[in-house]
Structure 1
Amino acid sequence: MGRYVFAIVIGTVVTLTLLFVMQLLIVTGKTALTDPRERHKLEFVRVKRNENLNTADLTPEKPPKPPETPPETPPQEMDNINPDAPTISVAAPTVSADTSIGGPGGMNIAEGDYLPIVRVAPVYPARALSRGLEGFVDLSFTVTSAGTVKDPIVLQSSSSLFERAATRAVLKFKYKPRVVDGVPVEVPGVKTRISFQLEE
């Protein structure tokens, strides 16, 4: 008799426990289904294919044409040049020098005298040109054993405006050096006149 009572009590407890657990599962399941935070809505949209699509509209547009090159500027005519404008002409320098070396009995012992190779015309000074001045410069210098010019000295000039231009021109002169006993030597005291003249 005691065994049956005990079994009934145990069975009742187990049944009530199962019912409680089932009720709990049902309640929690409803909450999960009704909670909007746990729901993820997926929508599928089917796009209908447009069979009447005009493929000509899909061709890319042609790039714009590059701008045409501007017409070449015609050369300017020279009608405005005054043919009576004065031109500049610098006269070639006149070189005069003592080319002999005195030896015993007045004999010339130079085996090969110096000779001018390059003579550079001077640049006409702008101030003298603006005033219409003409003139000359006498200079003395030394022809070195290498054929260059050194130590130019102005002896006289018609105007100091020409002296710097004349000196710069003389320093650019080139000579074949004088040779004595097979050795090139310097020749001091070479003189030259540089004239500045305007063409009429």
Structure 2
Amino acid sequence: VDFVRVKQDQQLETKQRKPKKPPPPDEPPPDVPPQNFNVAVDSAGFNMSNVDLSVSVDVGGGGFGISDGEYLPIVKVQPQYPRRALSRGLAGYVIVEFTVTAQGTVKDPFVVENCGHIPNARSPADCVDKPNSVFDSAAVKAALKFKYKPKVIDGNPVETAGVQNKITFELAES
């Protein structure tokens, strides 16, 4: 059996559409006469010839300059819940300490305290997974992604060591 396909001539006709021009306005807008804003001020109550306007302001060295300030968190990333903790039904927290750099990034994070516990247990304060908490690495990874506005002293950003952040891991109630 031979199949023969006949080619059909197909030509698509495309219609060229051009946007319509808006009609010209019937009449031009009226000319607005310029307004004169002369304001008369009674100068009888204003005698400013003997006013001393010298002001002395010292903004350096005291740490109270306009741009000085403490570090402020800008971005705090939620940690990823560890699968091992999820499968064991653990909740808990990790306190991470780190240094906020002059660029606002986090460096040298380490775990200060941690606790993993089973929610709704008889004594939820008892940590069942304390020495090497399953939450430690997730908390440290999240802390490395934090962004801060660095502390500013005398107009210059400086590193701030000893910043602590408590990251809590809670199971969603089902």
Match of 2:139 in 1: 166
**Structure 2, gaps ≥5 residues long:** 7-61, 116-128
**Letter in structure 1 aligned against 2:148:** Y
* TM-score, normalised relative to structure 1: 0.46
What CA distance in whole angstroms lies between the structure 2 residues aligned with 1:126 and 1:108? 47
Q: Structure 1 141/109 Cα, relative in aligned 2: closer, same or farther at 3 Å?
A: farther
Q: CA deviation at 1:114?
A: 1.1
Task: Give the structure with the larger helix fraction.
Answer: 1
Q: CA deviation at 1:112?
A: 1.7
Q: Does 1:138 align with 2:111?
A: no
What CA distance in whole angstroms lies between the structure 1 residues aligned with 2:146 and 2:158? 17
What CA distance in whole angstroms lies between the structure 2 residues aligned with 1:108 and 1:162? 39
- Per-residue CA deviations over 1:11-58 (Å, capped at 9, x if unaligned) read xxxxxxxxxxxxxxxxxxxxxxxxxxxxxxxxxxxxxxxxxxxxxxxx
Q: Does 1:151 align with 2:151?
A: no
Q: Does 1:199 align with 2:172?
A: yes
Q: Runs (4+) of structure 1 moved beyond 2 Å?
A: 60-64, 107-110
* TM-score, normalised relative to structure 2: 0.53
Q: Does 1:62 align with 2:4?
A: yes
Match of 2:22 in 1: none
Aligned-residue sequence identity (percent) comes to 55
**Structure 1, gaps ≥5 residues long:** 1-59, 65-106
User: CA-atom RMSD, angstroms?
Assistant: 2.3
Which of 1 and 2 has higher RCO (CA within 8 Å, sep 6+)? Answer: 2
Q: CA deviation at 1:109?
A: 5.0
